[in-house]
Every structure is written in C-alpha cells, then in structure tokens.
Structure 1
Amino acid sequence: MKPGFTLLLSALFCQLLAHTDVGVAAVNSEVSPAPAAWYSFGYRVGERLADVQFKDVNGREGVLSQLAGKRGAIIVMRDAECPVSQRYAPRLAEFEKEYTSQGFNFVYVDVSPYSGKNASAEAKQSAAGSKLQGRVVLDSSHAISNALRAASTSEVFLVDQQGTLLYRGAIDDQYGIGVHKDTPGQTWLRKAIAEYQSGKDIVTTQSEASGCLLPDNAGEAVQNRPVTYHNRISRLITQKCEMCHRDGGVAPMPLQTYAQVTARKTIIEYMTSKRLMPPWGADPSVGHWANDRSLSEQELADLSSWLKTGSPAGNAKEAPAPRSYVAGWDMLKPDAVLQIAEPHQVPAQGVIEYQYSYLKTNFDSDKWVTAMEIRPSAPKVVHHILVFLEEPGAKRRSGGIDGFFAALVPGTPLTTFPEGAAKKIPKGAWLKFQIHYQPNGTAQTDQAKIAFQFAGDVSNTEGKLKEVKSESAFNAKFEIPPGAANYPIESIYLFRKPGKLTALMPHAHLRGKAWKIELVDQAGKRSLLLNIPKYDFNWQTAYQLKEAINVQPGMRIAATAWYDNSSDNPSNPNPKAAVHFGEQTFEEMMIAYFDWIPD
C-alpha cells in the first residue's frame, strides 16, 4: 500500500565502515588517551567508528575508523591472561588465514595489564605465541575499548571498508565464562561476514560476548563528536530511508545524496520529529523486533543536531560505501519472477472494488521460499496487494482470510523468513492476488509481479527446513455503531499444536484506531506481544519477532482492535453509518495475521 504523501520517508536497513592499510605481523603500542567523554556515536551497529588515534606495537600510527582492508576489518578485544581469549586464539588464527586473503584486516586491541617498560614487546610476543598475525594495539589506557564501549575481552567488531560498524559481539557461543562446548551452536561472526560479502542485510547484528569483563566508564563526562552528513546522517538515511526513497524505490523523493537530503530537510525534520517517519507503529516498551525501523532517541538527537547546526556536509572521505540494488527489486537476486496474466485498467478517479487475479505457479516441484517480494507496475495507484495460496485441487475461495501467503503493504515491500525456515509452495499451486487500487487523478494500467528466493532443491531441504505457516485471529461478525469513538472488537486463535511464533501483522481499515495482541497460556495468564497505540491504515507492518516465542497446545492468540467511527476521525468515510465486515476501505476488517512454525 503506497499513498503518495505519507510515503515521504520510509523503511530502513543497512550496513557499512572504514578504509586504511593495515599491517601484517604482531603490531601495537600505546593509544592516545581519549577525551574524558563518550562519543555521541561510533559504537552502535550502523555508525562510523570514532577517529581514535594510536601507535601499534611496531610504532606505526593509525586511526580506529581507518583500519579496514579492501573489504573491511575485524577488531578483536584481547587479554592474554583471560581464559576465554586464550581459547579463542586458535579460532582467530584460522579466521585470519581464511579472511585476510578476502580483503579483511585483523586488529587485536590488547588490554592485558602488562607491567614494566616492555609492555609493547610483551603484547607482540603474546600475539605471536598464539600465531596471530594481525595488527596489535596496546590499549592499557582503554581509549579504544572506551570508544567502542567494549564489554568483554572476547568481543569482536566487524567493520566495512568505510569505517561503519556492521556487527559487534561474540565470535560464536562455544566458549565463555563457565561455558565450554564441544562445538559452537551459533556462529555469529562467520554468518555476519558471509551475509555482508553477499550484499545481504546482516540478520544478527549484535550478540552478547561472554568473556573477562572490561571497565564500564559510561559515567564519564560526555563530549560529543560534531555530527556531519558524511560521518553520521548519511548512514541514518541509508539504513532507515534509502530502501524506499531511492531511484527505482517505492517511495517518491530519492534521498541518496547530500543535495537530495538537504533539499528535503524541512519535511525530514517535521516527519521524523513527529515520528511519522520512518513508519513504525509498535510501542517501543513492548516486544523486540528484527525489522524495527524506528529512530532511537540518540538517532533523533543526532539528526536534530545536524539540522540545527546548518546541516554540514563534512568530509566526503567519511561517507558510507554506496549500497547496490537489483533493478526493480529490494531482494538481492530473485530465483523466480511470476506476473499475473491480465493487466488491470485503473481509471483516473472513482472507487474500485478489490480486483482478483489467479496465477498458476507451474513449478516442476515443491518450492521452499526464503524471501518474497511483490511489485505492481503502477505503484502510485496500488494501496495494497495480498496474495493467497490455493493448493492443487482446492476450491477457490472468496475474500481475504484463508490461505494468506504474501503481502505488499505500506512499509513492507520485502518479506524474509528466519534462518532455517521457509514457506512452501506445493507443485501446481495457485496464487490468488487481491489488489486494492486507489485512483490518483491519472488513468493507469497495472500488472503485478511476485518474486521469490528459494532455499534450493526440495530433495536437499525436505526435513531440514521448518515450514512457516500464516494464520489469523479474526472477527467477521461485528457492527460498529454510528459515532462510536473507541469501539473494541476482539478475536481469538487457539493453538492445537506446539510451535514457535515468528511475526504479527494486524489489519484494519480507515476506522482502525489501536491494536493489542496478547498470548494467553492454558491458565489464562496474558502476555502482551504487540501494542499499537496509534494504528495507521496507511502503514500496515508485519512485525517480525527478534526471538521466536514458544507456543503450546491450549494457548491462544487474543487480539483486540479499537475503531473510531466518529466525526473526529478525519479519515472516516461516513460517521453516520453502522459499519460491518467487508473488503472495501469504507467497510472494516478485524484480522490479526501471524506467522508461526508448527513443530
């Protein structure tokens, strides 16, 4: 769904970081003491590292933000006396052999409490004894660990070639304080490197690194870095806006250059300060979301600071690496693209009933879908598209509840599934497109497409992938009285199998005011999963849980939606009408879609 003006500043996601020649062999020395302050940015994922200067153990000068090779850098906190650091040394030596040839520099920030005048020599010898060949920096003053806000001596930082932090946390989960597994269950750093190199968004950008704890200096006085477009704001725009606001994106007004952003800075300030952009309706105090595109308080402060200090461009050398997009798609590379057979003629004005198109998949086998994306050919007149799956031989159903499979809704152009999970398209299945058109003053022709990325040959994935199912808690039997300003409607879904809940997507129309989705256990105890205090029909988001939630037979999804059918609702088509369930926007819906993985 893409109404024109509201699409002014949408979506988010991205990754980046620095450039500079980094040496071989053990290297390190003393770091210049940092100012008695935390930097306002430079330690969160997506930010450019601070320009902390140092000398390595070989006497070579360097800058923290400029440590990357052709592809990036891997910065490792290290303490030669810490058992966790010792256990990870062989793993890091293996990583060096594998990734140095691929353009990554390795840098070891040694915080060991060496004594005497030969601290640098000791640090150098310690790294060499562990067969570590990367650059070594002695950080006894904690200038670097403070700038990174490093928590422990096993923490690693993946940085791109422009100095942007892509991942921070543990190498994996094999070792830690009180942890010694035979093999790792999670390989976060390796996965982050692989996703970065393939051009994908990194799924897990942060994890907890269990190791010997470092001093917490967060209480020191703060002296912020100057915020410029190239060192800070460009990264915010890339992560939170550019996916939609770009050439070929679903939103108007590209925001890919300093000139484009400064030309729109007044409306950017208004939309972000009012939290209208990026579009995100979830209450920040409830739930943790993998696709959270809201701006944090610190990000808003940095943006506001930049706007109020003349919007300086800064040094172009500090700009992020440009992000590449596949023409016409947000996904990296579709494995299959299907298009509905008949084009739809959309008049310049008027109300159009929902249009339906059936498309047979004709794949030669069952397919496992790991990502999918819907694109209309005339996006300016398409409010939303829902796609429903009908298996071979199934009776064709009307309406938009059963068999929900995919959606193009405002703010959700691309759908991805958790690692190891996929949706299944049976061989010979049909896809039913439900398309909602909104004329915009110009007659247009639309012919929608859907693109898929597959997990691979079904013979290799059957039994290994977990199948994602879409269900809903819905209520189709209600009447909203005329003039009712806060009318509640409830719905329930009962789980009959165990599984894991992965995503939530509530759906209502123009009178939709607020939503609450709870999980109710067998004893009746309620846990709030999602709270949307100000529901906006123009931005209907699929909220993807950062951590899946276990469900058991007898548990229930309990959804409550509130509707404003009064004259105080400026979007209300007719406050004098009693409103029932229906597909048109002047009618109403109460559907709490959700994705889950049954065991």
Structure 2
Amino acid sequence: MAFSGRVRKGVGRLVFGVLMGLLEAHAAAPAVTYHKHIAPILFEYCAPCHRPGESGPFSLLTYADARKRAGLIAAVTQRRYMPPWLPAPGYGEFANERRLTGVQIEQIGKWASEGAPEGAVSDSPPPPTFTPGWQLGTPDLVLPVSRPFPVPADGPDLFWNFVLSPAIRQSRYVKAVEVRPGNARSVHHANLLLDRARSSRHQEKTPGAGFPGMDLNIETATFDPDSHFLFWKPGGTPRTEPDGMAWRLDPGNDLVLNVHFHPTGKPELVEPSIGLYFTDKPPTKFPMLVQIERDSALNIAPGTRDFVISDDFRLPIDVDAIAVYPHAHYLGSLLEGFATLPDGSRQWLIRIPQWDINWQAVYRCRKPLFLPKGTVISMRFHYDNSADNPRNPNSPPRRVVGGNQSTDEMGHLWLQVLPRGEGDQRAVLQEALMRHRLENDPANASAHFNLGVLLLSRQDTTSAIGHLRDALRLDPEQPMALNDLGAALESQGKLEDAVEQFRHALRIEPDYTSARFNLANGLAAQGRLDEAAANFRQVISAESGDTAAREQLIAILIQSGNAAATEGRLSTAAASYRELVALRPGDADLRNNYGIILARAGDLAAAAAQFEAALKANPSHQTARRNLETVREKLAKH
C-alpha cells in the first residue's frame, strides 16, 4: 500500500510539474505584432482593393490604417466576410485562393484583442507597390471611352455600349485586359466583346456616342465563339491568360464595352476605360465559353425561401475545364455546379453556400479538369425571396422573374473549356449547346439565330433558313437575322425574297453596312446595276476601307461604262470611267479606256491627259502610247 501511495504521489507531482511547464511556455509565447504577423496578411489579401483609388472604403497600407480598424478587421475575417472568397472548401480546387487559413484568422483576432501591438518595424515585409489605377501595371494600349456617361440619381438600371477602336497597324496578341469602371459604385458589371466585322458601330446615332442595349449579337464572317472571360465585376481582379491562350486583335477590329450602370442616389458622371496587354506569342490553344442557364424558369413568388432552378447539359466531346463563373443577382443563396462523369461519379465544379453578387468572380481551376464526352454538366441554383434575406432589394418582397435588370434574377453557370481532339471542335460544342437551349425553351430567339448562323456556315442552308425564320417569328425586328436569312435565300437563288430581307433590315437600321452590301450584291445579280452601284457607294462612304464593295462597284461601272460606249452613249460612258479612275487611279487600262471614250466624244486634250496618266502608271503600255501619239497629232493639226 505504501508503494502504491508513493506512486500516486509521484504521479501527482509529475502532473503538477507538466502543468507548470505549460503555463510557463504560454506566458513566454511571443506577442502577435503588426509588422511580423499582420502586415504580411494585409499586404497580400487586402491591399489590392484597400488602397487609394481602389474600391475599398479605406486604405490598409500602414500600421496606423490597420490599428484604428483592428476590431473591424478581426470581426470580418472571423466571419469570413473578408477577404471576399465565396466558394466553399472541398468543392473544386482553384488557383490564387483568397481564403485565409484558420491560423491567420486566429492571429488577427489575437492581435486585435491584445491592443493591436505594432512590434518592430524591421520585422515588416516591404509594402506592396502598385501602378496608379492599373493593377496589372502600365498597359501597352489604353482605350478610354469617347465621352463620359451620365448616370441619373435614380430610376431603372441602364445598359450602354461604348465602341472602342484600337489604333494598331498590325495584328497583336492580347494576353490580358483590365477594365477600369471609372466609378465602381455606379457600375454593376462591364463586358468586353470583340467585333471583328465592326458591325456594332452602325448602331451609334453619333460616332463615339455609344448606344443602348444589354443583349448584343456580334456579327462575324466566320464561326468565332466567345472564348475568354473579358469583363469586370465588383471584387474581381484582372488576370493574365495562361501561355498559349492570348487572343488575336487585328487592325480594323472594334472592341465593344458593354456596361451595366445602376443609380446610386446622386447624379454620377462615369468614364470607363480599358487597358490592353500584348504578347508576341501567338495563341496555340483555343478555348470556348460554355453557358448553361434556366432564366426562363425564374418566377419567384414573394416570401419563397428556397426556389430552385436546374439545368443539365451533356458534353458531346472531350474537354478540359479551366475556369468557372457562376452568376445570379440579389436573391441567389446557394449556388452549385457539378459534373457527373460517364462512370456515374460526381466531380464538383463549385459550391457557394452564401452567394453575394458584390463579390462574384471568375474562378480558375488550379489544374485543368478533364471532362470526357458524355459528362453531364449540372447547375442547381437556390434563391431566397423572403424578407429575411438581407440582400433582397425589395421591401416588402415582390414577385421576381428572369431578366436583365439587377432587380430581376439570373441563373447562369459558365465554364471555360479547352476542347480535346483534332481540328476545331468548338462548332460541335456550340451546336449541342444551342439545341440544348431550344429543348429547354423553344421560344429562345437567340438560340434559333445562333444555330441558324452555325448551320449556314456549314452550308446546311435549308436547316439554317428554318431556324432563322423561327428567330424572326419570335423577334421580327432583328436586323442581323434578316441579313443572314437574306444571305441564305440568295445562296438558293431566291433573289427577290433575299432582296426583301435586306431591305427590311435596312428599314430597321439604315446604317447597317453588311445588309447594304448584301442588298447591292442581290440587286446586281438581278441586273439592277444602277441601284446596286448606288448601294455600293453608300457602303464605301460609310466604310472607306471596304475593298470588297469597292471592287464590286468597279466591276459594275466597267460593265455599264462599256455597254454605254458600245451603244454610243458617250457622256454616260465617260461618267462611269470618271468614277472608275477615281476609285483606281493607278490602273493603266482604265485610264486608256477613259481616254478612248473622251477622244470619241471630241475632248482630245482630256483624252491626252488620260493616256499620259496611263503611261505614268505603266510606261510599257504600248496601246496607250499609240493612242497618245494619235491624239497629239490631231491636236497639232488644230
């Protein structure tokens, strides 16, 4: 028993000694200080927005800045409200996560509770440096809008498009775009669209003024699907594209900045701009944006706490997913995106348990995620239209449907994917997407239009015409659909019907140069050369660099000029050739022919001038030389 008691005593003394050791170690633990522990966190996660000129309401670049807000910093980081990072851990792996670790949050809380000690300045990392106004550094090319846009103090949201024309002399490859909203409080979001055909500028009533509208269809001469996330959202940060994924910008291309403004309670004058960053490396990878959505299903009664929409799209090809972007408005609560692979297993793409429109972003995968053919991409978006939703813009709640206003709702899940396999697989993916949208919503005019254009590019003209007519049945005043329908009909030899479609498009948009060019071609094919020439002239007047219109007009003028000369209508022939040499002043044959017509009309001096111009353009033009000698002899006799 004595032995047993001594053991118990020993254990008691041992435990006491251990506890004393722990207490001593705790007492000796170094304090959490600003310069050693907190500054590195603030500089990495907070300073990009919390600095002068950026969207953060205050700066966090100095100890003084941080000390007076220590309690606030501890509170918002403890709740994970800051830094803003919406995806839940374990539901997708993303690059450059802005989620703080548990240790970092604990350090901030301890530092704040202990009076925010400063510590030794020598322990601080160097403060971050930024180029004023531009987070990616000085751009290679800055494109400001032509004039500021006035946003009224109140009223509905506004959607405005600014047409920007990069002044470049050769094709450039764009590795990054940074959008500066001009006034982050007034801008809900901004999208940048590439307009290779310069088809949008004809919607401007005054050059440089821009034009209204939210949903834009950008006309292209070839299949050219959306490929990159080129937009600005609150809380988003600009990024450089991965190697091989720059996009090409050609001389003469336009960029359209599509901006969604909303009133702030006071009048604002907003002047957005974009910065372009170039690389010399041409693209070797061609991604595509895949969007699934069910906006047509959004009809949320007031008071509904959990309204759910869903969409499921089966991939027709193998792809690598490289980025994901979910989008809803103020009623969004739980947003989920996942992939069900052909073997039945589930791969999470993203899960956001507490959606906040103010911190939406594009999330780039840490590494490409392979999704084989037959994978089903799914979205399950939940909405809360109750009075308990602090982000509900309506008090009391009202019925909310799908739409473009920020007080309406949206439900979109975008994936940026890289198709695998040989050749350009994007057209296969685009066709499957459009057919899927029509299965969900047969009255989707945009899907009918896009599918019709794709089928037309494949020369499946009959099917294309069917979808284009459906698009126009649903949206009769769509000039691009009218123009494409006219082109399809013309390819089938239905000239009269085609010409009527082009005329209808021009009645809606008189400055629509693509429709006017097609109308001129159709008229020429009908033998209505004077009308065709008049329309080609209008195209050239609007687009002086349109070489196709210029060549077509030249062909018509040669035909009509020669016919008039043959028939002895020399003044008409001379008028045609006068215009011809103005269009092509260095063409020796045109000069020679014009000279012959002038000589036949009796204007020998003018004829001599044209023969001389022909020889200047081509000194070895023997016909022009003989004609000049003949005319000079006649002039000498007079």
Q: Same fold (TM over 0.5)?
A: yes
Change (3 A) 1:306 1:221: closer
1:499 corresponds to which letter in structure 2?
Answer: V
Map of 1:343 onto structure 2: 148
CA drift at 1:576:
5.3
CA drift at 1:481:
3.0
Is 1:534 equivalent to 2:373 in the alignment?
A: no
CA drift at 1:596:
2.1
Map of 1:364 onto structure 2: 169
CA drift at 1:365:
4.0
Distance 2:214 2:182 in 1: 24
- The number of residue pairs the alignment matches comes to 376
Q: 2:306 touches 2:382 (CA, 8 Å); kept in 1?
A: yes
Unaligned runs of 5+ in 2: 1-24, 204-212, 218-224, 421-638
Q: 1:424 touches 1:467 (CA, 8 Å); kept in 2?
A: no
Distance 1:428 1:550 in 2: 37
Q: 2:294 touches 2:310 (CA, 8 Å); kept in 1?
A: yes
Unaligned runs of 5+ in 1: 1-219
2:110 corresponds to which letter in structure 1?
Answer: S
Name the SS of the counterpart of 1:461 in structure 2. Answer: coil
Is 1:328 equivalent to 2:144 in the alignment?
A: no
Change (3 A) 1:365 1:520: farther
Q: 2:331 touches 2:391 (CA, 8 Å); kept in 1?
A: yes
Name the SS of the counterpart of 1:593 in structure 2. Answer: strand
CA drift at 1:539:
0.9
Q: 1:281 aligns with which of 86, 92, 101?
A: 86
Map of 1:589 onto structure 2: 410
2:104 corresponds to which letter in structure 1?
Answer: E
Distance 1:493 1:525 in 2: 16
Q: 1:571 aligns with which of 375, 391, 394?
A: 391
Change (3 A) 1:560 1:423: farther
Distance 1:266 1:248 in 2: 24
Identity across the alignment (%): 29
Map of 1:446 onto structure 2: 270
Map of 1:477 onto structure 2: 296
More divergent stretch after superposition (468-477 vs 559-568): 468-477
Name the SS of the counterpart of 1:477 in structure 2. Answer: helix
- Structure possessing the higher radius of gyration over alpha carbons: 2
- 1:71-130 deviation per Cα after TM superposition (whole angstroms, max 9, x unaligned): xxxxxxxxxxxxxxxxxxxxxxxxxxxxxxxxxxxxxxxxxxxxxxxxxxxxxxxxxxxx
CA drift at 1:333:
2.8
CA drift at 1:406:
1.3
CA drift at 1:585:
1.0
1:374 corresponds to which letter in structure 2?
Answer: V
CA drift at 1:400:
6.8
Misfit runs of 4+, over 4 Å: 220-225, 393-398
Change (3 A) 1:242 1:576: closer
**Which residues in structure 2 correspond to 1:71-470 (within 5 Å)?**
225-392=30-197, 399=215, 403=226, 405-425=229-249, 427-456=251-280, 460-462=281-283, 465-470=284-289
Q: 2:372 aligns with which of 546, 552, 555?
A: 552
More divergent stretch after superposition (349-358 vs 509-518): 349-358
Name the SS of the counterpart of 1:416 in structure 2. Answer: coil
Map of 1:518 onto structure 2: 338
Name the SS of the counterpart of 1:562 in structure 2. Answer: strand
CA drift at 1:565:
1.7
1:399 corresponds to which letter in structure 2?
Answer: D
2:290 corresponds to which letter in structure 1?
Answer: E
CA drift at 1:555:
2.4
Change (3 A) 1:338 1:470: farther
Distance 1:312 1:320 in 2: 16
- Structure 2 length as normaliser, TM-score? 0.55
Distance 1:538 1:560 in 2: 20
CA drift at 1:380:
2.8
1:587 corresponds to which letter in structure 2?
Answer: D
Q: 1:269 touches 1:304 (CA, 8 Å); kept in 2?
A: yes
Distance 1:478 1:273 in 2: 37
Name the SS of the counterpart of 1:491 in structure 2. Answer: strand
Change (3 A) 1:257 1:369: same
Q: 2:298 touches 2:410 (CA, 8 Å); kept in 1?
A: no
1:476 corresponds to which letter in structure 2?
Answer: D
Distance 2:244 2:28 in 1: 44
Name the SS of the counterpart of 2:43 in structure 1. Answer: helix
Q: What RMSD over aligned residues (CA atoms) do the two structures have, in Å? A: 2.8
Map of 1:509 onto structure 2: 329
More divergent stretch after superposition (530-539 vs 518-527): 518-527
CA drift at 1:444:
1.9
Q: 1:423 touches 1:469 (CA, 8 Å); kept in 2?
A: no
Distance 1:590 1:543 in 2: 17
Change (3 A) 1:314 1:448: same
Name the SS of the counterpart of 2:296 in structure 1. Answer: coil
CA drift at 1:223:
8.0
- 1:189-234 deviation per Cα after TM superposition (whole angstroms, max 9, x unaligned): xxxxxxxxxxxxxxxxxxxxxxxxxxxxxxx999854321111100
- The higher-RCO structure (CA 8 Å, 6+ apart) is 1
Is 1:491 equivalent to 2:296 in the alignment?
A: no
Distance 1:424 1:405 in 2: 15
Q: 2:298 touches 2:409 (CA, 8 Å); kept in 1?
A: no
1:479 corresponds to which letter in structure 2?
Answer: L
CA drift at 1:567:
2.5
Q: 2:214 touches 2:258 (CA, 8 Å); kept in 1?
A: no
- 1:557-581 deviation per Cα after TM superposition (whole angstroms, max 9, x unaligned): 2111111122222332346543322
CA drift at 1:310:
1.6
- Structure 1 length as normaliser, TM-score? 0.58
Name the SS of the counterpart of 2:255 in structure 1. Answer: strand
Q: 1:329 touches 1:373 (CA, 8 Å); kept in 2?
A: yes
Q: Which structure: greater helix fraction?
A: 2
CA drift at 1:512:
0.9
Distance 2:80 2:314 in 1: 35
2:237 corresponds to which letter in structure 1?
Answer: P
Name the SS of the counterpart of 2:57 in structure 1. Answer: coil
- 1:284-334 deviation per Cα after TM superposition (whole angstroms, max 9, x unaligned): 122221121011101101111111122111110111112211111000231
